[in-house]
A and B are shown apart, each in its own frame.
Chain A
Amino acid sequence: MRRTENAVSGRDEEFREFMQNRASLLHQSAYLLCGDWHLAHDLVQDTLVKAYQHWPRVRQADRPDAYVRRILLNEARGRWRRRERVMPVSRFPEGREPVAPDATDEIARRAGLLQALLVLPLRQRATVILRHLEGMSERETAAVLGCSEGTVKSQNARALGTLRTFMDRTESTL
C-alpha cells in the first residue's frame, strides 16, 4: 500500500511540474477549438485525466507536448461527434447571428475572428492554433496532427485563405 501511495505521489509531482507552464496554453487552444470557455475547461480536464492515466507513456514519448495535444484533439473530435446531435453548431459562439466585426467594438471584432476560426474544418483550425497561437513549427505541428509537413502547409494556406476575408475586413476598418 505504501509503495503505491509513493508512486502516486511521485506521479503527481512529475505531472504537476510538466503541466505547470503548459496548462494555460492548452486551455487557450481548447477554447479556440470549441469557442466556449466552459467547454474548453471540460475539454482540458478530460485531456489531463487521460494524460495522467497514460503518464508513463506520455513522459517517455519523443515529444510529450505533442502527445498531450494529440489527446486534446482527439477529445475535441470526440466532442464534435457527441455534441453535434444536440447542439449542431455549438462550436459557434453564443449570439453568432448579430455579430459583425466592428472596428469600434473590440469585443465584436474578437467575436468575429472567433466566428471565422470556428467555421474552419477542425483540422485547419487545429493547424492555425498550433502554428499561430502555440507557435509550433511545421514539423512540430505535423507531429501532433499525424500528417506530413506538406499537409500542414496546405492546411495552413487554406485556413489563411478563409480567414483572409476576416483579416482584410478588420484591417480595412482599422
Chain B
Amino acid sequence: MNSPQETQLGHELRQLVSGQPFTPDIEAIGLRARQRHRRGLALRGATAAGAAVLAAGGLLAAVHGTGGTTAGTTAGPTASRAPAVNSKLMSLAALIKARSGPLPGNASLIIEKQVIGGKPMQVGYGLYTDSGDMYSGDDKQTLVAAVAQHANLADFTNAREIAAARYAAAGDLATARVRMVNALPNDFFLSFAARKKIWEEGAAARQALMREKGIKTPLKMPTGKALQDDIDNNLWTASTIALSWGAGDPEIREGVLRLVSTIPEVTVASSATGGQPTLTITAGPAVFGGDGEQVLTINARTGMPISSVVTGRGMPTSVETFRVSRVTLADIKAGKF
C-alpha cells in the first residue's frame, strides 16, 4: 500500500515523462546486434593472429561509427605525426615499466567515490578482469550480483580503448594516438568533403537538439584547431576511460600516461597529496570545447589515479577519488573484498 506521498510521486513522474513517444526500430536493433557479434568475432580472430593491434586503427575504426560517422582507414596529419610529449609523464611511464613484474590476482578493482558540490553523490565499483570482462555496481552487493549474473559491460569500444593503451605502452606513439582516438566514434580522419557530407546529413537532427537545449548560435563544422581539440577530447576521454577500468594493470597505466603526454593542452605539475608525491595532470578548457577543466591527480611513483576534479560548464565541482587494487575473481564472487 503506497502512502499519499508515494501516490503523488508516481503521478508526478508519469506527467514528467508523458508526451515522448518511442518506437524501437527492431530491424536496426537486430542489425546492430548481428554486426556487434561479427565484430567481436573479428576482434577475437585478429587477436589470435596477433593482428588486433594492427587492426585497431584501420578495420576497427572503419566499423564502429554510429549514424554514418565512421572513422576512415587513414589517419590525418594531426594525429599521426610524431607527437611532442610531456617529459614528466614519459619519465613516470618509463619508471612504471622498469618496476613492473608479475601481477597478483586476476582482476583490477577500482572504487570511485564522487562528491558533487560538496555533497557525496555516488560510489562506483568497477571490476576489470584480466580476460577483458567488465562489471560494475554501486556497492559490494551489486558488484557481486553483476559478476554472478555475468552482466559483462565490456563492449567493442572498451576492447579498443584497452588495446590502444596496451599498444601505447611499447608501440609507436603516433600510431597509438590514432588507435586511441579511433576507440570512440568519429569522422576526424575522413576527407574534408566526406566530413562535410556527414555534417550536412546531420543538420536536421543537430538543429532539433540545439533547439531543445536552447542553443541559438549555429554550430560550424570543426576544422583546424577546433578539429584538433576534438581529436584531443577523444584521446583524453578514451585514455581516461581505459585508466578508469584498468588502473590496476601497470601496462595500461603506462600506455595511458604516454598517450596523455602527447596532448598539447595538458599540463603536468609536481604536487603532494596526503603526504605522498603526486603529479597533477590538468586537461585545459580547449580539451572540453572551451569550457571546463579536468584535473587528474596520480601517484608520482606508480601512476595510480588518486582523484579527478572536474570544474566548469556552470556546474558544481565534481570530485572523484579512487582506490585501486588487484583482486581475484573468486574473492569478488565470494564477497571477500
| Chain A residues within CB distance 8 Å of chain B | 8, 11-12, 15-16, 19, 23-24, 26-28, 31-32, 37-38, 41, 44-45, 48-50, 52-53, 70-71, 74-75, 77-78, 80-82, 84-89, 92, 94-97, 110, 113-114, 117, 119, 121-123, 128-129, 131-133, 135, 145-147, 151, 160, 163-164, 167, 171
Asked if B122 contacts A147 (CB within 8 A), the reply is no
Contact of A147 among B12, B34, B142 (CB under 8 A): B142
Chain A residues with Cβ below 8 Å from B33 are: 49-50, 52-53
Chain B residues with Cβ below 8 Å from A27 are: 20, 22
Contact of B15 among A16, A95, A110, A119 (CB under 8 A): A110
| Chain B residues within CB distance 8 Å of chain A | 2, 5-6, 8-10, 12-17, 20-24, 26-27, 29-30, 32-34, 36-37, 112, 114, 116, 119, 121-124, 126, 134, 136-139, 141-142, 145-146, 149, 151, 153, 209, 212-214, 233, 237, 240-241, 244-245, 288, 294, 308, 310, 313-316, 318, 320
10 more contacts with CB within 8 A, not counting A8-B30, A45-B29, A52-B30, are: A19-B24, A24-B21, A31-B17, A32-B17, A88-B318, A89-B318, A110-B15, A123-B138, A133-B13, A167-B12
Chain A residues with Cβ below 8 Å from B151 are: 70-71, 74
Asked if B121 contacts A121 (CB within 8 A), the reply is yes
Asked if A81 contacts B10 (CB within 8 A), the reply is no
Asked if B136 contacts A85 (CB within 8 A), the reply is no
Given A74-B153, A132-B13: A44 and B24 within 8 A (CB)? yes
Asked if B16 contacts A85 (CB within 8 A), the reply is no
Contact of B153 among A12, A78, A171 (CB under 8 A): A78
